[in-house]
Chains A and B, each alone.
Chain A
Amino acid sequence: MNLSTLFLIIVAGTVVAYFLGHRRSFAVAKPVGGVRNLATLPSYYASMMGLWALVPALMVVLLWSVLDSAIIDSLVKSTMPSEAKQLDDDSFGLIYNQVENVAVGIGSIDALGREYEPAVERLRNLNALSDKAMPILTIVVLLLGAALGFKGIKATHNARYAVERAFNIFLFVCSSIAIFTTFGIVASVLFESINFFQKVPFFDFVFGTHWSPQIAIRADQAGASGSFGVIPLIAGTLLISVIALSIAVPVGLMSAIYLSEYATTRARGIIKPALEVLAGVPTVVYGFFAALTVAPAVRRVGDSLRDWGANNGIDWLANLAVSSESALAAGMVMGVMIIPFVSSISDDVINAVPQSLRDGSFGLGATQSETIKRVIFPAALPGIVGGILLAASRAIGETMIVVMAAGLAANLTINPLEAVTTVTVQIVTLLVGDQEFDSAKTLAAFALGLFLFVITLCLNVIALKVVKRYREQYD
């Protein structure tokens, strides 16, 4: 029986238990003079019985799935031939894998060696036993639980307390998923990063200026070791982010100012959603747009400038070289993507500036733009800075645009017309496709992930603090 059938049985059992409980509570109510004389409503008795059926059965399935393989492993190990037991962990694991494969019918016992036959046999038997025993045990527990719940339906027993407590526990468990997610993220990037730093020295990673993760298969090939200096990636990420922000911040900020200070309600109602369309477009679409439309356009413009420069004898223009995967194209498109992000945060922040400040400035005879520049903007500045930090964290963490439009070449440059690569691009490139989890190349992706996580987390924490403090100032 597979797991989903078992789940269906458990759910069905729970539903049946619920309805049985409902009927039972009416039966219990009859001799005491109707439902009004029960300690609580029939639906609570029914829920109680349903929970008694559901929760223990689920626990059995959960515990069984967690412990099953560990227990079977240790039992099978005892039947392995003695020479296998003396092997170190890695080689033993390999042999054990083969035993497992043979047990499910992949490969033949002859290739593995006859001496492993008892182990294979044992494993096969235990697996078969486990497959049968788990559903039976689960169903027995479900029935027992339901019976217990059934017995608990008494006129004097208030089932509401138990049901509500269960509900509360459920809510708490759901809430704690956020914590587990954070721990999961930290754990997954941290452990693999530690493995990585055992292979590659920490300082080589942080201060290295050369990034070429391709490790040669044969030791005599060039660049056999691979080098993992993160500086070019950081430089590339920063370059693209700066380009993006230098488009998004002025445009987003000015749009927000115009919308909140000048535009009529009607215009605002139309323009705001129209700008927000930019935020709803998936990043892969921007990536496609950047790679197929903007990058060639940038290149064309560059080329014609170069030709013009060459014809008119302007040397620096004549030497202009635009890469087909220029940082400029990726950065510009990313900037467009972030515009609504900057504008909506700025909009919130500007709207939070109290009207009295505006009135004060107008009262002195200031024009609207002077009021905005001299009064509102300085007052809103902390909030705007917070918003820009959040936007920067967005830009740094953005993946698809740069994967599709920026290159893989880890150039250490500040020339926006050259191809650069970013942290996220490298994470994706290193991990897409087949990986082995012990190669420095794969582990490097997790080290980059850790780096990215820490940077964005810091930016967010600072930004949220700044924005919060700003809010408190005017509350």
Chain B
Amino acid sequence: MLDTAKETYQTAGEPFLDEPKMRVRNADVFYADKQAIFDVNIDIGKNEVISMIGPSGCGKSTFLRCLNRMNDTIDICRVTGELFLEDQDIYDRSIDVVELRARVGMVFQKPNPFPKSIYENVAYGARIHGLTDTKVELDELIEKSLHRCGLWNEVKDRLEEPATGLSGGQQQRLCIARAIAVNPEVILMDEPCSALDPIATATVEELIHELSENFTICIVTHSMQQAARVSSRTAYFHLGKLIEVNDTSKVFTNPEHQLTEEYITGRIG
């Protein structure tokens, strides 16, 4: 048990930025008595793609879910530390998680479209956040969102069909379209390609790349290749600790920390 005596350590590389989009200081996460994340300090920059890598169970997903408070849904989970979205403390009492999650969207590991029509899936966010006043506006928004995900041409003739009838890759892109329809500032992606075949993965990766022009994207991945392909910065987690953060190229070619090196060379897996 490490929660009695607080252990401090230094994250290697360059975890901090000027004018970050999100700022995390001394973040700890506990599941009941068990600590899952230890004293994480990191900045997430504007319109960058940052990937989180590390062996399974290292806490990268847990950390990601702190950023839009998805961990709130787990009763026994407790988050401490400072987590800021621009200058707003996202764990402040006055914050409405609903609005936070409209600003920080999320895409999950397994494509999880609602068991409704394709149209309703994309329209859902706009509906619950009251983003459009008229049906015409809503139609436009849906077309735009599907366009940006390259899905429009594939589904425009069957918008009223159930989304569950799409292929896995299409479903995942639909989930991304659904997320960007709300026009979030940050999109969190939790291993978005792990349930997809290689071709669908390539399409989604390309999409992530395009989206980075307008959105800040945090992606958790178990694939180092994917991290190398899509992200500009990479963070390496190990046993709940943030070991190293650096430019992707640097992490993969010249890691500063020994654990990072061991991981990327395949000695830890």
A36 within 8 Å of B by Cβ?
yes
Interface of B, helix, strand, loop or mixed by DSSP: loop
Residue of B nearest to A25 (CB): B130
Say whether B130 contacts A42, CB under 8 Å.
yes
Say whether A36 contacts B132, CB under 8 Å.
yes
Say whether B130 contacts A36, CB under 8 Å.
yes
Within B120-134, the residues touching A (CB, 8 Å) are: 128-133
Q: Could you tell me the distance between the alpha carbons of A41 and B133 in the complex, rounded to whole angstroms?
A: 11
- With a cutoff of 8 Å between Cβ atoms, the chain A residues found around residue B96 in the complex are 158
Total cross-chain contacts (CB, 8 A)? 17
- With a cutoff of 8 Å between Cβ atoms, the chain B residues found around residue A34 in the complex are 133
- With a cutoff of 8 Å between Cβ atoms, the chain B residues found around residue A160 in the complex are 98
Counting chain A CB atoms within 10 Å of each CB, which of B96, B130, B131 scores highest? Answer: B130
A318 within 8 Å of B by Cβ?
no
- Total interface residues on B, CB under 8 Å, equals 8
- With a cutoff of 8 Å between Cβ atoms, the chain B residues found around residue A38 in the complex are 130
A52 to chain B, nearest CB (A): 21
- With a cutoff of 8 Å between Cβ atoms, the chain A residues found around residue B133 in the complex are 29, 34-36
Within A368-391, the residues touching B (CB, 8 Å) are: none
- 1/0 contact string of B102-140 vs chain A (CB within 8 Å): 000000000000000000000000001111110000000
Within A16-55, the residues touching B (CB, 8 Å) are: 29, 34-36, 38, 40-42
Q: Could you tell me the distance between the alpha carbons of A40 and B99 in the complex, rounded to whole angstroms?
A: 10
- With a cutoff of 8 Å between Cβ atoms, the chain A residues found around residue B130 in the complex are 35-36, 38, 40-42
- With a cutoff of 8 Å between Cβ atoms, the chain A residues found around residue B131 in the complex are 36
B63 to chain A, nearest CB (A): 29
Residue of B nearest to A42 (CB): B130
Residue of B nearest to A41 (CB): B130
- With a cutoff of 8 Å between Cβ atoms, the chain A residues found around residue B129 in the complex are 36
Q: Could you tell me the distance between the alpha carbons of A347 and B134 in the complex, rounded to whole angstroms?
A: 56
- With a cutoff of 8 Å between Cβ atoms, the chain B residues found around residue A36 in the complex are 129-133
A36 to chain B, nearest CB (A): 5
A249 to chain B, nearest CB (A): 42
Q: Could you tell me the distance between the alpha carbons of A35 and B133 in the complex, rounded to whole angstroms?
A: 6
Residue of B nearest to A44 (CB): B130
Lowest 4 CB-CB distances: which A-B pairs, in order?
A34-B133, A41-B130, A35-B130, A35-B133
Pairs across A and B, CB under 8 Å, 17 listed: A29-B133, A34-B133, A35-B130, A35-B132, A35-B133, A36-B129, A36-B130, A36-B131, A36-B132, A36-B133, A38-B130, A40-B130, A41-B128, A41-B130, A42-B130, A158-B96, A160-B98
Known: A36-B129, A160-B98. 8 other contacts (CB 8 A): A29-B133, A35-B130, A36-B130, A36-B131, A36-B132, A40-B130, A41-B130, A42-B130
